[in-house]
Amino acid sequence: MRQIARRGFVAGAAGTVAMVVASAAGAGGATADPRGEVRVHRGPGPRDVPRRELRGMWVATVENLDWPSEPGLSAAAQQAELIAYLDEAVDRRLNAVILQVRPSADALWPSPYEPWAQCLTGVQGRDPGWDPLGTAVREAHSRGLELHAWFNPYRIANHTDRSRLAATHPARLHPDWALPYGGKLYYDPGLPEVRAFVQDAMLDAVRRYDIDAVHWDDYFYPYPVAGESFTDDATYAKHGAGFADKAAWRRSNTDKLVQEAGRRIKAVKPGVRFGISPFGVWRNASTDPLGSRTAAQVQTYDDLYADTRGWVEKGWIDYICPQLYWNIGFADADYAVLLPWWNEVVRGTGVDLFIGEALYKCGDPAQPAAWQDPAELSRHVDLAAGYDQARGHAYFSGNGVVADRIGAMSRLVADHYRSRVRPPG
């Protein structure tokens, strides 16, 4: 989920606010009232009824990005930090925390499938002395927050040295399951036994805990690395019969993972939602006329072998939260272009649309000028209020919510989150 190193768009200029306001006005369906609450108008009946919307915050644990602040803290200190994030969400009038509970094929609960996560103690497989996921669910619910358990399906490690993994790690017990690529280690998505295993590992948490949703991020097949190939030729030779090419076979593997996981989650607990937060561009219109008017360097369909649009149309997921991590007016991937594109993708499907927001870019001097303006994110929420399928936002990530660099989060909350609302059910 950390976007800083992998997003290729580092240049561009902000668009004009007037263009954005005109676009929102043309979309119809909702307005923002002076008190900052989103009002939705849908046919006869009372007007100005506050709508339910997601107000989410990602809390990343991989490499201790958000939490715990460092590995090896005491159980009491870790718990205190976690509760502080939940309290911050309440203070900001958010209603959901998306907690990363399987960051690198390891677990933030006592899993029979995978070792304890390294981010907790600094040693993968070492018992931290408490149950982080169980505590997170209980404490979130006591504060009126949803807890979405965020899993990464295929990433094993941000290195390729298997000896650094816990002795009981599945990637050591089944070395044929893992492939190195770009200095990292991944499970091979083409192996049916891998797809079954990663589902089993995640479903253990669904069975044990009263989580509100299973949440996946944007890592399926890994992001392309220049000059390197993902070496799954042997797997393709064994399992790729009947496909036109390797790309079609890889997309089918990802499709199977999504479809199977969605079906199995509902079989275990029908009320648990299944959501995915993909990279924001499915395909550019120059590649496919059904795509967005963007010039993105990465396209999920072609580069990650993830047909994100197809999953929505087939109803395999309950919500999609595309990472629209670009400013309004950005030339290669304009927020004001991608938002209406996704709005139409979900229409009539029953799949909720939430928007992933790049809070981490606010005030970062390496980012375009638009991100130096504290009002940029607030403008995103203004714009989304004009699109009838957009049902909320999630902010990356927790430490950005707390740090509130340049006051961007405070501005957004003051403009739009004057009181708490419930997330969509």
- In tens, the pLDDT along 18-55 reads 333 333 333 444 433 333 344 333 333 334 456 899 99
Looking at residue 43, its pLDDT comes to 37
Looking at residue 50, its pLDDT comes to 62
* Position 257 pLDDT exceeds 70: yes
- In tens, the pLDDT along 348-376 reads 999 999 999 999 999 999 999 999 999 99
Looking at residue 11, its pLDDT comes to 29
Looking at residue 216, its pLDDT comes to 98
Show contacts of 335-338: CB within 8 Å, 24+ apart.
335/380, 335/383, 336/15, 336/19, 336/20, 336/23, 336/383, 337/292, 337/293, 337/294, 338/280, 338/281, 338/292, 338/294
Residues 6+ apart with CB under 8 A from 381: 32, 393, 412, 415, 416
Q: Name which of 20-24, 84-88, 114-118, 170-174 the model is least confident about.
A: 20-24
Looking at residue 16, its pLDDT comes to 30
Mean pLDDT in the chain? 90
* Position 322 pLDDT exceeds 80: yes
* Position 17 pLDDT exceeds 80: no
Higher pLDDT, 6 or 101: 101
What is the average per-residue pLDDT within 390-407?
98
Percent over 90 (pLDDT), the chain: 88
Looking at residue 239, its pLDDT comes to 98
Q: How long, in residues, is the chain?
A: 425
* Position 214 pLDDT exceeds 70: yes
* Position 60 pLDDT exceeds 70: yes
* Position 8 pLDDT exceeds 70: no
- In tens, the pLDDT along 294-312 reads 999 999 999 999 999 999 9
* Position 419 pLDDT exceeds 70: yes
Confidence band, pLDDT 50/70/90 cuts, at residue 425: confident
* Residue 7: φ, ψ to 5°: -80, 130
Looking at residue 26, its pLDDT comes to 39
